[in-house]
Amino acid sequence: MSGRCRVDAPAGGVPGQTRAMSEFDDATAVDADGRCWIHGGWDIGGNANGGYLMAIAANGLRQVAGRPDPVTVTAHYLSPGTPGEAAVTGEVVKAGKRFSSVTGALVSGGRTIIQVLGSFGDLATNAASDFVSTNGAPPDLPPIDQCIARSPEQGGVPVPLMDRLDVHLHPDHAGWLRGEKTRVGEVAGWLSFRDGRPIDTLGLLLVADALPPAVFNLDIPAGWVPTVEMTVHVRAIPAPGPVRCVFRTRFVHGGMFEEDGEVWDSSGVLVALSRQLALLPR
Amino acid sequence: MSGRCRVDAPAGGVPGQTRAMSEFDDATAVDADGRCWIHGGWDIGGNANGGYLMAIAANGLRQVAGRPDPVTVTAHYLSPGTPGEAAVTGEVVKAGKRFSSVTGALVSGGRTIIQVLGSFGDLATNAASDFVSTNGAPPDLPPIDQCIARSPEQGGVPVPLMDRLDVHLHPDHAGWLRGEKTRVGEVAGWLSFRDGRPIDTLGLLLVADALPPAVFNLDIPAGWVPTVEMTVHVRAIPAPGPVRCVFRTRFVHGGMFEEDGEVWDSSGVLVALSRQLALLPR
């Protein structure tokens, strides 16, 4: 899949596609030639959110794969994503019985924004095994109305992404907004789309990078923490309703840290695991 | 980097390279044209170990990158690796100030064995930040001589890899060898090369997949658990001596599970984090 991009931002989705039903569908639309658009409004201080960029790429690559669900997707973040025309390029490396594996990229302005490797499948089909074992639980969150609503203006840097997403942080984890840090690298909260769009398997890729960095609760200055690489495992199709998320950073050294995420749906099923490698602010 | 492969297995490394100093160096040698060899003896029941395959690929791709350390490497496992001629192909997607990102593959017999995406750097250079935060500790292991030595013949399936690696399991985690399962998805142990080769950043990729699957302690039949994808973050250059590893599986559903690994060096530094997505035996 390849192709040049449209020059004008799509108002109602990419031409030739059905009018998208939500902001997220609009903002991640990729046509059959791979043409797409990095939209404004999904950024943190002008840089497009990493999960949003992964979602655009995965939406293109799942068309290449011919399978609907991004089961495991890895992106390496090479250039900041700024609003404008873009394209998803990719090719199938192997079409197997259960998964199709695809290598590809999101490119814009002559640069590779993210390079991607993913395996796509259909999580609605019956699994080969019905064995279940769970050693863990959703984060222990107060009801949404007792959590701290994120707004685009909090915390020093404008976060327009919070106009798209309804994020409510655990009150114990939100003190850094007032300069009060827990000194434990953990941030948990509720998340849903503001326009009511259900969180599907593509949406989980955005969710995996949408809370404030867990390191903001450590004794470092809050600032841009560039992601080197992020991998998301989508483990099930989410039930309707807001998801509960927790992100943790346990190990910071050598100027690098990991952030591990869990996303749980309203029925108490773990629907995604994420891990990213990121850099401390210089 | 590309090229056809030699037809005879190299006895002393790939021609044109200096005689390799260890079994692992021999078995992961890749020449300047990408030619290499999947060696026997690094397998579980005839299938080459996934960490071994990743190490071959990363050894080729770090030459492509021109940077010595695999900082974050993802492999998707597409075909079993059987002994024979092979090649590492790859290209630099971006050569940045700190990392070079490479996409590539290990191919053999006309098939892609693994598809790889990685960012390589030089972990010996000074980090941009000396901030350290650690929320965790090495696994609490008895001394090596009080742990359970793995042998190639244990557990029903021959594991020739254990002739290369000296693995001693925590006694509490090794009961599955006798059919006694803990029902907690955790396996910890000591690990070193039998021939005394130090574990460097390339060796950590092998280490990340070298213990028995943590799910063997759950109520499933022990059997081949195919890896879909594995990502390893190499966080520091290991100090000399055996490493301590722990692998945990917390969530099994939909026929899939994750396995999360931590590798700690002899000085108590977390040197690698790994995560793989794998399938239950059918």
**pLDDT, tens digit (0-9, with 9 covering 90-100), for B144-162:** 999 999 988 876 788 999 9
Q: Which residues of B touch A70 (CB under 8 A)?
A: none
Mean pLDDT confidence for B27-44: 96
Q: How far apart are CA B47 and CA A165, in angstroms?
A: 45
Q: How far is B163 from chain A (nearest CA, A)?
A: 32
> Which of A94, A133, A228, A276 is the best residue to mutate to test the B interface, defined by the most B CB atoms within 10 Å of its own CB?
A133
Q: Using one digit for the tens of pLDDT, what is the confidence trace for B211-230?
A: 999 999 999 877 889 999 99
Contact check, Cβ <8 Å, A134/B253: yes
Task: State the pLDDT at residue A92.
Answer: 98
CB-nearest partner of A132 from B233, B253, B258: B253
Contact check, Cβ <8 Å, A135/B185: yes
Q: Which residues of B touch A254 (CB under 8 A)?
A: 123, 127, 235-236
pLDDT digits (tens), chain A, 282 positions: 443 333 334 444 444 445 557 999 999 999 999 999 999 999 988 899 999 999 999 999 999 999 999 999 999 999 999 999 999 999 999 999 999 999 999 999 999 999 999 999 999 997 778 899 999 999 999 999 999 999 888 767 889 999 999 999 999 999 888 889 999 999 999 999 999 999 999 999 999 999 999 999 999 877 889 999 999 999 999 999 999 999 999 999 999 999 999 999 999 999 999 999 999 987
Q: CB burial class (10 A; 0-12, 13-18, 19+) of residue B94?
A: middle
Contact check, Cβ <8 Å, A251/B136: yes
Q: Give the pair of three-digit tokens for residue B258.
A: 């994750």
Contact check, Cβ <8 Å, B76/A119: yes
Q: How far is A144 from chain B (nearest CA, A)?
A: 26
Task: State the pLDDT at residue B224.
Answer: 84
Instruction: Give how far Cα A64 sits from Cα of A30, A36, A95, B55, B79, Å.
Output: 11, 14, 11, 29, 20
- B232: closest chain A residue by CA: A277
Q: How far is B227 from chain A (nearest CA, A)?
A: 12
Task: State the pLDDT at residue A46.
Answer: 87
Global pTM value: 0.93
Task: State the pLDDT at residue B163.
Answer: 94
Q: How far is A193 from chain B (nearest CA, A)?
A: 26
**pLDDT level of residue B78 (50, 70, 90 thresholds):** very high
> Which of B73, B74, B219, B274 is the best residue to mutate to test the A interface, defined by the most A CB atoms within 10 Å of its own CB?
B74
> Which of A229, A260, A279 is the best residue to mutate to test the B interface, defined by the most B CB atoms within 10 Å of its own CB?
A229
Provide φ and ψ at A277, rounded to 5°.
-105, 125
ipTM: 0.93
> Which of B119, B253, B259, B271 is the best residue to mutate to test the A interface, defined by the most A CB atoms within 10 Å of its own CB?
B253
CB-nearest partner of A115 from B71, B93, B275: B93
Q: Which residues of B touch A257 (CB under 8 A)?
A: 133
- B116: closest chain A residue by CA: A117
Q: How far apart are CA A264 and CA A274, in angstroms?
A: 12
Strands B186-193, B251-253: pairing is unpaired
Q: How far apart are CA B16 and CA B86, in angstroms?
A: 17
Contact check, Cβ <8 Å, B134/A269: no
Mean pLDDT confidence for B112-135: 93
- A262: closest chain B residue by CA: B251
The Cβ of residue B228 has, within 10 Å, a number of other Cβ atoms equal to 22
Task: State the pLDDT at residue B13.
Answer: 41
Q: How far is A136 from chain B (nearest CA, A)?
A: 7
Contact check, Cβ <8 Å, B228/A253: no
Task: State the pLDDT at residue A10.
Answer: 44
3-class secondary-structure state, position A86: strand
Task: State the pLDDT at residue B223.
Answer: 80
Contact check, Cβ <8 Å, A128/B279: yes
Contact check, Cβ <8 Å, A185/B135: yes
Q: Which residues of B touch A112 (CB under 8 A)?
A: 93-94
**pLDDT level of residue B176 (50, 70, 90 thresholds):** confident
Q: How far is B175 from chain A (nearest CA, A)?
A: 19
Contact check, Cβ <8 Å, B96/A76: no
> Which of A120, A129, A201, A217 is the best residue to mutate to test the B interface, defined by the most B CB atoms within 10 Å of its own CB?
A129
Q: Which residues of B touch A258 (CB under 8 A)?
A: 233, 273
Q: What percentage of chain B reaches a pLDDT higher than 90?
A: 82
Q: How far apart are CA A213 and CA A191, in angstroms?
A: 15
Q: Is the pLDDT of residue B12 over 60?
A: no
CB-nearest partner of A251 from B119, B235, B248: B235
Number of cross-chain residue pairs from A and B with Cβ atoms under 8 Å apart = 197
Q: How far is B152 from chain A (nearest CA, A)?
A: 29
Provide φ and ψ at A223, rounded to 5°.
-175, -175
